[in-house]
């Protein structure tokens, strides 16, 4: 059974606004570190949460399925880059500043570009894209929950948690809508065709 192509996407203003707001939180005071207000912009390993939110915000306001697929690949690439960054930070303590670390950094960069490019070329359905948004929103919500639970959290952490929560809620609604449309298209494909049989007089 073949599925119908995804319908033209609809704008999702809530996802767009929450994504842009979460990106702004990259520059807002989030924690007090040694008594000094600190924003996430000062800690590069967390950039993926905020840059991914910005990309999703752009995709959510776009009516182009191609743009949404490209952004999906970009968000996946950012997730891979974030994981590799944390891994390399761990390795840096073990192997120090050596040529091997440089080789690993370049290999990680090449892997990130390859994964992002491959994912961008994939024919993501509307539901697949919404699932990608949901996964990013879950990770962002988990990260911002940890920040809010820190006794030294500041108002930027609260704003970020609200933004990621709104993104998660609207992404779940998008999955529900896309799933309903997919079910309808499958039902249309499987409906029996009525035939009229004429009897000779």
* Domain-located, residue 178: yes
121 is in which domain, residue-wise?
Answer: 13-186
Residue 132 or residue 96, greater confidence: 132
Look at residue 171 in the predicted model and tell me its pLDDT.
94
Look at residue 1 in the predicted model and tell me its pLDDT.
35
Look at residue 86 in the predicted model and tell me its pLDDT.
82
Work out the pLDDT band at 200, boundaries 50, 70, 90.
low
Structural domain total, the chain: 1
Q: Could you read off the pLDDT of 116-167 as tens digits, one per residue?
A: 888 888 888 888 999 999 999 999 999 999 999 999 999 999 999 999 999 9
* Domain-located, residue 8: no
* Domain-located, residue 21: yes
3, pLDDT greater than 80: no
Tokens standing for 108? 């990680």
Overall pTM surpassing 0.85 (yes/no): no
* Domain-located, residue 94: yes
CB 43 within 8 Å of CB 30: no
* Domain-located, residue 131: yes
* Domain-located, residue 194: no
Nearest alpha carbon to residue 136 among 88, 86, 201, 73:
73
Q: Could you read off the pLDDT of 56-75 as tens digits, one per residue?
A: 999 999 988 899 999 999 99
* Domain-located, residue 7: no
Work out the pLDDT band at 4, boundaries 50, 70, 90.
very low
Tokens standing for 100? 């091997």
* Domain-located, residue 195: no
Q: Using CA of residue 60, residue 66, residue 70, residue 72, what is the dihedral sign?
A: positive
């Amino acid at each position: 059974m073949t599925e119908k192509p995804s319908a033209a996407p609809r704008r999702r203003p809530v996802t767009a606004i929450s994504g842009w707001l979460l990106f702004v939180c990259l520059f807002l005071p989030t924690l007090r570190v040694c008594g000094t207000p600190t924003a996430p912009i000062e800690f590069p390993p967390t950039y993926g949460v905020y840059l991914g939110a910005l990309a999703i915000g752009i995709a959510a306001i776009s009516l182009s399925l191609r743009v949404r697929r490209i952004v999906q690949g970009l968000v996946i690439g950012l997730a891979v880059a974030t994981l590799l960054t944390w891994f390399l930070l761990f390795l840096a303590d073990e192997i120090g500043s050596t040529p091997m670390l440089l080789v690993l950094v370049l290999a990680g960069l090449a892997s990130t570009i390859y994964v992002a490019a491959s994912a961008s070329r994939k024919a993501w359905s509307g539901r697949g894209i919404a699932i990608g948004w949901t996964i990013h929103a879950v990770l962002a919500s988990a990260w911002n929950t940890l920040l809010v639970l820190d006794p030294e959290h500041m108002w930027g952490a609260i704003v970020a948690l609200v933004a990621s929560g709104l993104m998660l809620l609207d992404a779940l609604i998008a999955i529900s809508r896309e799933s309903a449309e997919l079910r309808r298209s499958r039902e249309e494909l499987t409906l029996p065709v009525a035939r009229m049989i004429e009897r000779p007089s």
